[in-house]
Amino acid sequence: MVANDAAPAEDDEVALYDYSEAGVRIASAPVAPRDAARLLVAGRHAGAARHQVVRDLPELLLPGDLLVVNDTRVLPVRLAARRASGGAVELLLHPTGRDDDSAILALLQPSARVREREVLTVVGGPRLTVLDPPGPELRRVAIEGGLAAALPHGELPLPPYLPREPGARERDRVDYQTMFAAAPGAIAAPTAGLHFTPELLDRLAARGVGLARITLHVGPGTFLPVRADRLSRHAMHEELYEITAATVAAIAAAKAAGGRVIAVGTTTTRALEAAAQAGAGTLVAGRARTRLLIRPPFRFAVLDGLLTNFHLPRTTLLALVAAFSSRERLLELYREAIAVGYRFYSYGDAMLLLDPRAGAGAMGR
């Protein structure tokens, strides 16, 4: 599924969701404490940006506002394997909730060299058989003993711009999980949630800011490159999400009282808006799957604010944030963030885009 309006041609071209990475500081590790990350605060559509830190959130939000976080937990699904010839193959498993031992999806690297029905051996672990011929990005594999037999031999799937020495990723087992991580199933972290600490949550609660949880198991659709020249031609991979009745009730209560619903991250955004589309504009509880691609223009049914990291150019993540603001404004904010030294990507700093609340002033203060 794509956005619920036809995008103007100039907003559909992938090349326009781009910015110069010259001068971009890529964060190789999170700051300590996590809520010390810088925070670029801006109105959703207008107004000058302000430069703060994440621990300022209680002063930036108002009593009655509601933060919604993603409680997915990243699985150790990156596996090193060997061909019978001794050649190395890396696999990134993609558990979908539909997999059985005969059909687990995986990204293979290098994929073109691995034949259909070829048997690979996970280093230190079970054998697996590749079921599909070369070609598709995701290929089915059968693992002896199933997914549970492979995971003890896997590592967390860090993004490629975070190079690590093999076997030296122990710190990432902690750093690359949010404090909300509870439901195992993701192959990438919902990184906006990495900025929270127990102390920050206590201060938010004391301020009267609520907290609700959804689950969206992040899959390849979040980070695979857009190879089409237009966003409307890009096919998202399916992701599993779940929204409880308690979260639906919390969102309804916040809105009824005049509070804002602020998604922590693009994955939370996708789950909420997919569930609203399933309910024809009304948020509904349940467990479902989505291929929703949010791009300009998009009519948001749930969100009044978005807390998000800084994303790679030409990605569906950047398009989602642009849909919440505008492409021009977002790229202007990115240029400002680069100029003043914000740290980008998974372990980097954050941005808060807000709708003003009635009677609360331009930035909701």
Closest C-alpha among 42, 98, 133 to residue 337:
42
Q: How confident is the model at residue 164 (pLDDT cuts 50, 70, 90)?
A: confident
- Residue corresponding to tokens 């102390």: 199
Note whether 179 and 297 are same-domain residues. yes
Domain shared by 298 and 278, yes or no: yes
Give the structural domain span for 115: 78-153
At 255 the three-state DSSP class reads: helix
Determine the pLDDT at residue 221: 67
Query: Do residues 243 and 135 both lie within one domain?
Result: no
- The domain boundary, picked from 92, 119, 153, lies at 153
CATH of the domain at 119: 2.40.10.240
Cβ atoms of 75 and 99 within 8 Å: the answer is no
User: Both 138 and 182 in a single domain?
Assistant: no
pLDDT of residue 28: 92
- Over residues 19-45, the mean pLDDT reads 96
d(CA 363, CA 365): 6
Answer yes or no: is 247 within a domain: yes
pLDDT digits over 44-57, tens only?
999 999 999 999 99
Tell me whether residue 162 is in a domain. no
169 part of a folded domain: no
**Integer Cα distance of 56 and 40 in angstroms:** 11
What is the residue whose two structure tokens read 């122990």?
A: 170
pLDDT digits (tens, 9 = 90+) for 108-154: 999 999 999 999 999 999 999 999 999 877 899 999 999 999 999 99
Report the distance separating Cα 190 and Cα 270, nearest Å: 12
Tell whether 210 and 235 lie within a shared domain.
yes
pLDDT confidence band for 166 (50 / 70 / 90): low
Tell me, yes or no, whether 85 lies in a domain: yes
Confidence of residue 217 (pLDDT cuts 50, 70, 90): very high
Same domain, 101 and 61: no
On whether residue 189 sits in a domain, the answer given is: yes
Residue with tokens 């309910």: 279
**Are residues 300 and 216 located together in one domain of the fold?**
yes
Kindly indicate the confidence band of residue 2, based on its pLDDT and cuts at 50, 70 and 90.
Answer: very low
* Confidence at 96, pLDDT banded by 50, 70, 90: confident
Q: 23-62: b or e for each residue (b if 16 or more CB lie within 10 Å)? A: ebebbeebbeebbebbbbbbbbeeeebeebebbbbbebbb
User: Tokens in use for 312?
Assistant: 């790679």
The number of distinct structural domains making up the chain is 2
CATH of the domain at 228: 3.40.1780.10
Statement to judge: residues 30 and 134 lie in one domain:
no
Same domain, 195 and 306: yes
Q: What is the mean pLDDT of the chain?
A: 91
Based on the fold, state whether residues 220 and 188 are members of the same structural domain.
yes
**Separation in Å, CA 164 to CA 25, 169, 342:** 18, 7, 22
- Which of 105, 120, 153 terminates a domain? The answer is 153
User: Which residue, among 215, 245, 226, has the nearest Cα to 314 in the 3D structure?
Assistant: 226
**Cα separation of 112 and 289, whole Å?**
29
Q: Which of 124, 153, 182 is the last residue of a domain?
A: 153
Q: Is residue 165 part of a domain?
A: no
63 and 186 share one domain: yes
Please report the DSSP string for 80-141 in residue order.
EEE-TTS-EEEEEEE--SS--TT-EEEEEET-TTSPTT-EEEETTS-EEEE-S-S-SSEEEE
pTM equals 0.92
148 located within any domain: yes
Residue 188 within any structural domain of the chain = yes
Report the DSSP beta bridge partners of residue 240.
Answer: 289
Q: Are residues 194 and 334 in the same domain?
A: yes
